[in-house]
Chain A
Amino acid sequence: MTRSVIELTPDASDIRVARFATAAIVLSLAEAAIPLPLPGVKPGLGNIVVLIVLWRWGWRDAAWVALLRVFAASLLLGQFMAPGFFLGLGGALASLCVLGGAMHLPRRWFGPVTASLLAAFAHIGAQLVVARLWLVPHDGVFALAPIFALAALVFGLINGLVAARMLLEIEAAATAA
């Protein structure tokens, strides 16, 4: 019997995705410990990592990080295949679609803050649609839309600012090295 050896050699992109996905997963876990006034209103700190990866290394890597985060964080929290998982997955997919467009805006005028805000609104929009279609089949869920939108505005702005600042530091470190 011949033994077949399959060797997988990770390239630089794989290592980068693994590293940043770990950071995003850790942030998601830390965030799960914060008591929240309303289910679904979360700072979304993991999205800072997704934004940084998107801005510096492109959409493909960002998509890997975002989806790995959704799957791994839900597995670790015991939420895999629970309603919260599908809300998160829907939000992540929608915000990735929007980020795919937002990253092509002229960077002179639109920075990570724009990308963060657009992604945050796409995220809550998709969550509301998933919730309406599946979890709460009643238009009453839309009464929460203003609260979710306000959360998206505040956290989108803060996450965008943090991402912009960390990108500055990463670029400064890269040019110094």
Chain B
Amino acid sequence: MRLAARDWLALIRPGDYLVLVLAAVLVGMLGQHFWRGGAADRAEIRAAGKLFATVPLSAPQLIVVPGPLGLTRIEIDVGRARVASDPGPRQYCVRQGWLKSAGAVAICAPNQVTLSLLARQPAYDSLGY
């Protein structure tokens, strides 16, 4: 007995479709949860080479880091972070804008402050990249 595609579909009852969709959503969620290597989940701030703070990228906040030239202000947002202002002369780290991916680094060399984003599995290191 050969069944046409339509007859196979008739074997699926209404609730089965619901379970099928929920199962597919579960697969997607597991993939998201265990394989989101590229998305950063925390920021590491260093001043003069020493760890100043490690903050999760879960809620907006402003962190002020003192350095030899003055204060560097770092802005944390959900899933991203940036150097909002820095006393350095050329403003490279400020002009980098928002950092989003794991491994991204903004370095304010004159004021000796670095901001780097981390994840459990970094996608790449922007210095080596």
Contacts and interface: CB of A to CB of B under 8 A. Distances in A.
A121 B16 contact: no
Given A165-B3, A169-B1, A143 B34 contact: yes
B23 A113 contact: no
Interface in A83-130: 105-114, 117-118, 121
B15 A110 contact: yes
Contacts of B34: 142-143, 145-146
Contacts of A160: 16
B124 interface: no
A102 B18 CA distance: 14
Interface in A147-170: 149-150, 152-153, 156-157, 160-161, 164-165, 168-169
Q: Is chain A's interface secondary structure helix, strand, loop, or mixed overall?
A: helix
Contacts of B20: 113, 117, 153, 157
Interface of B: 1, 3, 8, 11-16, 19-20, 23-24, 26-27, 30-31, 34-35
19 contacts: A105-B15, A107-B13, A109-B14, A110-B19, A111-B11, A111-B15, A113-B20, A114-B19, A117-B16, A121-B23, A143-B34, A146-B27, A146-B30, A146-B34, A149-B26, A150-B27, A153-B20, A164-B11, A169-B1
Interface of A: 105-114, 117-118, 121, 142-143, 145-146, 149-150, 152-153, 156-157, 160-161, 164-165, 168-169
